[in-house]
Structure 1
């Protein structure tokens, strides 16, 4: 009994359940106004938000606190990893392999999404009169203004990633680089120690995130688009247990063992609908599992922006869904055009607020055959599908890191077997 009560997984699961019950039976309490307006700002390069309602206050505050650790951990991990590696040719090789891996796997995810959406046709029979004028103007406006330079400037994670790589490369040739390692290593340990303390608040964040979702949108919001939701969830499950399973199988690693090992992080992502909430913890667990610090530091932060398997699947299926809703027949040439456009636009999906709708709006605008107003159909259920997107993105980045660490012979199987045995 004592072991259960001290288990973080138990408390996160309990918090998610209580959050669902509160949001469903007492939405007035879940959405009780505790602040006159949300508080937004920027600290340590990361945007933070404190929600105005009771549930948002708990959920968004927890995510904002965890996000503060992302840039320091990325900076320390990458800098220490590259300096300790001391082989610049190897750094470039790992980076190039990571980019190639991201492009191949996300393109595969994109194609799977389009094929399944065309086979199951979730948009057939959806009544367009159910569009009730949801506010999509902010998404279409941002989509029209989107630029790669702005994407980079708004994405502090990418900026820290680039800066850390440049600094690590510069210091790798420094004769007394051991002094640098001796200085940065203790700082890194203290940052992770502080993160562990913050993660004890994960049940509170998961409770707030789930209570807000159910309280605001209600379970009834799922019914009109239940077929789309079911199709998206099923497609992501197929991707995880077929594609990602096969990728790990190449190095004789069991996907289920890995999922069991990161179960606490997966529940946090589920409760908060944010992969950011567990990103620093994932990096630490991948190192403990046997992936080298340098590979983890390069692949996970880059994957956060460019290896969005779940988001890619959702975007491709949403475009086909809206085409079916409005009875727009897409020929082979147009489908290939959609694939080409999403291969580019989906890479910006992590750097902009309201990213999913912004990328969708920019894609629909570029295709010019599907009404952009159709986005209003998805506003009510997008939050319910964000959990699947975040979890798939999260697992995908973990698998990418393990695969690249093995491919580069920077993986310790003894560590993996030890931690898998303990999980």
Structure 2
């Protein structure tokens, strides 16, 4: 079916999804502050909504990647796209980590804490993470890419493994030519059904955002923010700098205004803020990037892969949190040791898609593996991790939203004039193409 142009029939403000989500977030904060126990009991609302979204993520990723690769004229182009994508992701991840390293060394929020690692009481849940990290190699994400069966990744929601299967299937369908065309056509029809399902699920977005925010504020409160407020400010400030200056600079190079891009994805950003999960908007991100004019094969390859290999928010958090713990526990950490930690974190940060609280899990695993910084020190930031997870997810989303545009421009297939018209809210009458479904209803 043909999707209506985003600017052709603008809905009144009170029917816009982002307005309802924003109101739900505000209501959730109010409920969490006024009735903490009741707010904490609303966790199932947020979890159920995220579960419903994750239900369709694996099928959407699979059909998008397969149909995209199967439709490419040359498989050599697929390989070229993969190399360019990984190179860009690696550069973005390293930049985010180094920015976090600079910020934590300049502002030094951990100085004066003087926490004794031997006297830090570690909870059972965190102790389990530390023990897991001690027995897990830094290269495990490479072996985890290959699934043990064709079905398990879909059942377990392992996006990176789904991408691996989809790439193999797409290459095979491309190679067999006409024999595979009925299969590709069938997958396109399945795609329309799945995106329609997603549209129904999105009606519950305000309810999910309300429940998740009420739970966060009601469960963790705001008392923990006072003691570690400087660390939170440093992290949020660094994240804002990365999005506005670093990503904004990259956007300027491809002639895309970062502020207009953020406005275009305002509904998705609010959902990420409300649910603390960028997974909740992965399908919508793919759909709206295609509407901007990014080719389906590029969207299908960069977005799902970016959810494991381009975690800019987590990358920044890892370097910042590790050095903070060292400062707080008076652990000497030279510049060389900090750079060595960054080198390990570049590897350990991969393959974390679909992991709840992925940043904290990876931090525990990294500190346990290296032994440079006391792993028990993660308890110092355990209480505020939930308030930092929203920021991590927002930065992850922004990085992946821009990445597809960058790769498309690098490939020379991005119509910048069309992108700018769309970001300005003007309909593009020169293009009429088939979309899976309009999910923004």
Cα distance in 2 for partners of 1:132, 1:24 equals 28
Q: Secondary structure at the match of 2:337?
A: helix
CA shift in 2, pair 1:363/1:182, >3 Å: closer
Cα distance in 1 for partners of 2:307, 2:52 equals 18
Q: 1:16-415 residue pairs with structure 2 within 5 A? A: 16-31=25-40, 53=41, 55-126=42-113, 128=115, 133-135=122-124, 136-146=126-136, 147-148=140-141, 151-152=144-145, 153=147, 156-176=158-178, 177-350=180-353, 352-415=355-418
Per-residue CA deviations over 1:131-181 (Å, capped at 9, x if unaligned) read 554442121122123333674457621111011111111111323244333
Q: Is the 8 A contact 1:78 1:298 kept in 2?
A: yes
CA shift in 2, pair 1:132/1:222, >3 Å: farther
Q: Is the 8 A contact 1:11 1:203 kept in 2?
A: yes
Q: Is the 8 A contact 1:289 1:415 kept in 2?
A: yes
- In structure 1, stretches of 5+ residues that fail to align are 32-52
Q: Secondary structure at the match of 2:330?
A: coil
TM-score, length-scaled by structure 1: 0.90
Q: Is the 8 A contact 1:290 1:414 kept in 2?
A: no
Per-residue CA deviations over 1:250-309 (Å, capped at 9, x if unaligned) read 111101111000000000000000000011100000000110000000001110001000
Cα distance in 2 for partners of 1:58, 1:252 equals 40
What residue number does 1:44 align with?
none
Cα distance in 2 for partners of 1:354, 1:10 equals 27
Q: Secondary structure at the match of 2:113?
A: coil
Moved more, 320-329 or 154-163: 154-163
Cα distance in 2 for partners of 1:351, 1:210 equals 19
Structural RMSD (CA) = 1.9
Q: Secondary structure at the match of 1:85?
A: coil
TM-score, length-scaled by structure 2: 0.87
Q: Is the 8 A contact 2:294 2:414 kept in 1?
A: yes
Q: Which structure has more RCO (C-alpha within 8 Å, separation ≥ 6)? A: 2
How many residue pairs get aligned? The number is 400
Moved more, 146-155 or 58-67: 146-155
CA shift in 2, pair 1:351/1:19, >3 Å: closer
CA shift in 2, pair 1:355/1:292, >3 Å: same
Per-residue CA deviations over 1:85-127 (Å, capped at 9, x if unaligned) read 1310000000011111111110111111111100000111235
Q: Is the 8 A contact 2:276 2:393 kept in 1?
A: yes
Q: Detail structure 1 runs of 4+ shifted over 6 Å in the superposition.
A: none
Q: Is the 8 A contact 2:131 2:368 kept in 1?
A: no
Q: Is the 8 A contact 2:104 2:324 kept in 1?
A: yes
Q: Is the 8 A contact 2:260 2:424 kept in 1?
A: no
